[in-house]
Amino acid sequence: MVGCMSHDMPGDLEAQTITIKGHGGDEIEAYLAEPRGSGPYGGVVVIHHMPGYDRSTKEITRRFAAMGYVALMPNLYHREAPGAAPDDAAATARAQGGVPDERLVGDVAGAMAHLKSFPKCNGKVGTVGYCSGGRQSFLSAVSLQLDAAVACYPGGVVHGAPPGSPLSFAPLIGRSKDLSCPLLGLFGEEDKFPSQEEVATLDKELTSHGKDHEFHSYPGAGHAFFDVDRPSYRVEAALDGWKQVTAFFGRHLGS
């Protein structure tokens, strides 16, 4: 017979799909993962990458819960494609020009409010995002009062969307002075979006405003080095990246 252990063993978690109120009071789908203990725990809003609200970003959300955070990932494409397969939803969102910045901020604000209402949440909330979600994590941190933000290979912060793009990615570097919290940036040296020149420009701008930030660029890694099921995965960069995220959120979101 297998016995049932206490509910606060490290790594024990519960995960489910819920409905939250996003931008404009819209009801949107979100994926919630929480440790089974009583807390208190910090909160993490996970901002998915451009390929969507998919299996790999749900795995990341569960990983944050296993690390001791209440993690919530809003489905940023819910309005365009409710109930659709993640790749179909991402294609629809791309065809429509992507997620408007104002709506993204509203959805992250809704996720934050949901996390802060949790009795087991300690009231501190950070964001983490990948790819376009990295830019959106930075956007959230210059638009909302956060406790920490992680941006993984965020393209478009310095120069906006590249020429020919139908997506409305405005440059955000001019808003660096509004950064509300410490920022951790993780980059691949071989990435072209963002390039190392853009990383250096953002670093300089944040320093000029006295903003608390910490950047790591990994040699031999390009874009999407955290993606374990893509050829872009780079084990050394991903392992150190997770180590940096763990330490960073531990310092700023811990109880």
Partner 1 sequence: MCTYHTEHLELRDSSGKGADGWFTLREASVYYDHPVHAPAEHTVNVDFLNRSLGPSARVAVELDPGSARELARALLEAADLAASHSGQGH
Chain positions contacting partner 1, by CB under 8 A: 50-51, 80-81, 84-85, 87-89, 91-92, 94-95, 98, 131-132, 155-156, 161-162, 164-167, 169, 191-193, 222-224, 230-232
213 phi and psi angles, rounded to 5 deg: -150, 160
Tokens of 107: 């959805």
Least distance from partner 1 to the Cβ atom of residue 180, Å: 25
Gap between the Cα atoms of 217 and 104, Å rounded: 26
- Residue 63 vs 94, nearer CB to partner 1: 94
- Residue 180 vs 195, nearer CB to partner 1: 195
Gap between the Cα atoms of 157 and 119, Å rounded: 35
Least distance from partner 1 to the Cβ atom of residue 41, Å: 31
- Residue 103 vs 116, nearer CB to partner 1: 103
- Residue 10 vs 162, nearer CB to partner 1: 162
Residue 194 neighbours by CB under 8 Å, 6+ apart: 153, 154, 155, 156, 157, 158, 187, 202
- Residue 34 vs 80, nearer CB to partner 1: 80
Least distance from partner 1 to the Cβ atom of residue 155, Å: 5
- Residue 8 vs 87, nearer CB to partner 1: 87
- Residue 67 vs 221, nearer CB to partner 1: 221
Least distance from partner 1 to the Cβ atom of residue 244, Å: 21
Least distance from partner 1 to the Cβ atom of residue 153, Å: 8
Gap between the Cα atoms of 91 and 143, Å rounded: 27
CA dihedral sign, ordered 205, 206, 207, 208:
positive
DSSP single-letter state for residue 58? H
Least distance from partner 1 to the Cβ atom of residue 74, Å: 17
Residue 150 pairs in a beta bridge with: 128, 184
3 phi and psi angles, rounded to 5 deg: -85, 160
Question: Is cis: bond before 40, omega within 30 of 0?
Answer: yes
Least distance from partner 1 to the Cβ atom of residue 223, Å: 5
> Roughly what angle, to the nearest 10 degrees, separates helices 132-143 and 101-116?
70
